[in-house]
Amino acid sequence: MSAAVTAYSNLAFDVVERIERLVTSVDVIQCFGEALRQFGFTSFLITDVPDLALHREPIFLLNGWPPEWTEMYTRENLYQDDPIAGWGRQTVQPYEWSDVRVDAQKNPQAAHVMNVASEFKLREGFVVPIYMPGQPMSAVTMGGEQPDFDPVAKRAIHLISMYSHSRVVALSSAQSQPNFIPLTDKEKEVLLWTAAGKSSWEIASILGITVTTVNWRIKQALIKLNAVNKIQAVVKAIRTKQISV
């Protein structure tokens, strides 16, 4: 067995062992991000992959993208034209972003998504589709400028990605979890306005953002708080002292 194979194998099993002991999604973000950086990936995302026919945006279970890219992706609804996400809806095998061929003349919007991503140093990437019985399709996608695509490296990343996704789902859905996943300041902001009785349209006008962005932040808060609707999310956020009204 070569030194590279041994190193990647040891890294993968070490990361998996650490992830299994983590108790918050914030810890998983840090551990997973540190592991991916050793392969040359600087950003990542764990998300569901809804069919376009559902007319909804993906819900980010674990977001390690640059904040500005996340904001733009949501604001401009880039998911509809994202060729990487589109490919993920039709395969069960992990794939490199370069495996997805984009014809700029036939599909300029898809080319636009990739061009903008590269501006955030997301030039190359790797995707691990995740299928679970009775659950919506999910994916772990990661990007960087010059990541390592050695076959041994990709196998190690595949294993780490599956365990990271599994741990995040377990932490998000555990009814007995005593500590909620912390809300971001922007998620707290929209919940505060929701508690004040404002609609998504009104919140968007007040904050100077789009309704799509407001709804996306609310969806993320629902996931983190394990809430079924906006009212329950507000109540749980108050009970956990993440917001006060």
Residue 4: pLDDT band by 50, 70, 90 thresholds?
low
- Give dist(CA 126, CA 150) in Å, integer: 12
User: Would you say residue 6 has pLDDT above 90?
Assistant: no
CB 109 within 8 A of CB 81: yes
pLDDT tens digits, one per residue of 50-74: 888 777 778 888 889 998 998 899 8
How would you label 212-240 residue by residue, b for 16+ Cβ within 10 Å and e otherwise? Answer: ebbbbbbbbbbbbbbbeebeebbebbeeb
Between 10 and 178, whose confidence is greater? 10
3-state secondary structure of 188: helix
SS (H, E, C) 93-142: CCEEHHHCCCCCCCCHHHHHHHHHHHHCCCCEEEEEEECCCCCCCEEEEE
- What's the whole-number mean pLDDT along residues 238-243? 80
Residue 54 CA, chain-centre distance (Å), reads 19
Mean predicted lDDT score pLDDT of the chain: 87
Domains (range + CATH), the chain = 3-173 (3.30.450.80), 185-239 (1.10.10.10)
Residue 239 in this model has a pLDDT that exceeds 90 = no
How large is the average pLDDT for residues 158-169? 89
Query: What pLDDT does 62 receive?
Result: 85
Consecutive H or E run containing 44 = strand 43-48
Q: What is the pLDDT of residues 196-234, one digit of tens each?
A: 888 999 999 999 999 999 999 998 998 888 777 787 788
Say yes or no to pLDDT of 117 above 90.
yes
- Is the pTM higher than 0.75? no
Tell me: pLDDT of 25 over 90.
no
Whether the predicted pLDDT of 24 surpasses 60:
yes
Q: What is the pLDDT of residue 74?
A: 87
Q: Flag whether pLDDT at 1 surpasses 50.
A: no
- Asked whether 14 and 31 are in contact (CB, 8 A), the reply is no
Q: Is the pLDDT of residue 184 over 70?
A: yes
In this prediction, what percent of the chain has a pLDDT beyond 70? Answer: 93
